[in-house]
Amino acid sequence: MSIPRPKILTRVTVPSGGWTWDIDVSDVAQYDTNLTSTVAAGDYYISGDNQSDDLLFALTTSIKADIVANGLSGTAMIWIDPDTHKASIQVYGTDFVDATGDNDVRINFSSWSAGLCAALGYDTSDVAKTTEDNPTFEADWHHGYGWYADEDGQGDIMPVDRSMAYSIQGKSISGKVKTQFFGESFASELRLEFLERNSSGRTKVFSNGVGYGTASVWPYNRNEPLECWWEEARKGIEFRVYRDGYINTSRAASTGTSTAASVTTITDAGKSWSTDPSRWVGCIKYSPVFIENPQSFYISANTATQLTVPNAHPSGIDADGGALGLGGQTYYIFDHPYQTYVVDLKEMSEFAPREHAAIDRWNITIPLLRYV
């Protein structure tokens, strides 16, 4: 198995009132139906794992609800490309094909909340498609609020937390000691090694002080570099460190074909997975063909033969990507567990990667405190 490629996702906070989106679709006449609503205020990550705090899941759910409210037949699909880290938004269903000339769709990004556009990597120019069935709209840049290792060999990638007790302890003349325990913290570190300054034309380390909330500046491609993460982390904003962030079916820890499924489970009668402890909790179940597009799901529980995911996808289709109750779909499981951290600012007060032997590869050690 390949060495994991870690990723770091920074928390995205949707402010009070939510973030607004706006899409025009064609029903009887061109763009005669306006879909618009909000993503509710709250804390999210652009994780693409269909958990309740996944920003993509929240946006998909909102778009699907408005499609139904307007009497249309269809759903929304949103995913992150595993290689470019760009988001794609698709509207899908019988009301978005050309049989009746109603596949014209225009996404009015100029009416979207600027924060939502920036988080997903879209600029604020409206985009229309009039000839493509079930049209897909790919982002302009790498999505904000995430850094991804582009190659194997990134050093220690899943920290093991050290428990550190905080207490008051006194010793009397008699030699007796009294301890008053009042808390503990979990400390660790993440060592990233041989980082490339540039990879596939993208700056991977330095951003000259530009953060995720700043407008995209060449050559940062939606402010991807690790320093963008630091600009957020130094504010005390929490982030997730994933053991691996790279989807490639050849790297799967397990694969198979479902024998049955529901909207929140897939069953593979030929498996005998460990349940003590549950082997796959916290890992990712990946369906390469889910209404013709990839989707990832956080695994919240497993038995010897069944995987459970926390939420039904807004499409209403089974969790394996197939028709309701039938099974027969290929799936992959990836070891992508994560923990949530803040930076230990007492130990790391500046962003200062060290160049490795003057070969334009950079090392950095990040001291962590687990966020609870």
CB 20 within 8 A of CB 36: yes
Would the pLDDT of 277 be above 70?
Answer: yes
**Which of 122-131, 152-161, 177-186, 335-344 has the lowest average pLDDT?**
152-161
Tell me the pairing of strands 284-290 and 293-298.
antiparallel
For tokens 């763009």, name the residue: 31
Position 356 scores a pLDDT of: 83
Query: pLDDT tens for residues 243-273?
Result: 888 899 999 999 999 999 999 999 999 999 9
Query: pLDDT tens for residues 205-239?
Result: 998 888 887 777 766 667 889 999 999 999 999 99
Averaged pLDDT of the chain: 90
Question: Which range among 36-45, 240-249, 347-356 has the greatest average pLDDT?
Answer: 36-45
Question: What is the CATH T-level fold of the domain 251-334, as seen in this structure?
Answer: Elongation Factor Tu (Ef-tu); domain 3 (2.40.30)
4 is written with which tokens? 């994991």
**346, containing H or E segment:** none
| Helix/strand/coil for 72 | coil
CA-CA distance, 92 to 102, in Å (whole number)?
A: 12
**Which of 129-133, 164-168, 189-193, 305-309 has the lowest average pLDDT?**
164-168
Q: What are the residues facing 124 on neighbouring strands?
A: none
Position 185 scores a pLDDT of: 83
Would the pLDDT of 342 be above 60?
Answer: yes
CB 257 within 8 A of CB 267: no
Would the pLDDT of 22 be above 90?
Answer: yes
Position 243 scores a pLDDT of: 87
CB 45 within 8 A of CB 181: no
| Residue 99 banded pLDDT, cuts 50, 70, 90 | low
Domain ranges of the chain: 1-245+337-372, 251-334
CA-CA distance, 20 to 183, in Å (whole number)?
A: 41
Would the pLDDT of 1 be above 60?
Answer: no
CB 253 within 8 A of CB 239: no
Position 101 scores a pLDDT of: 62
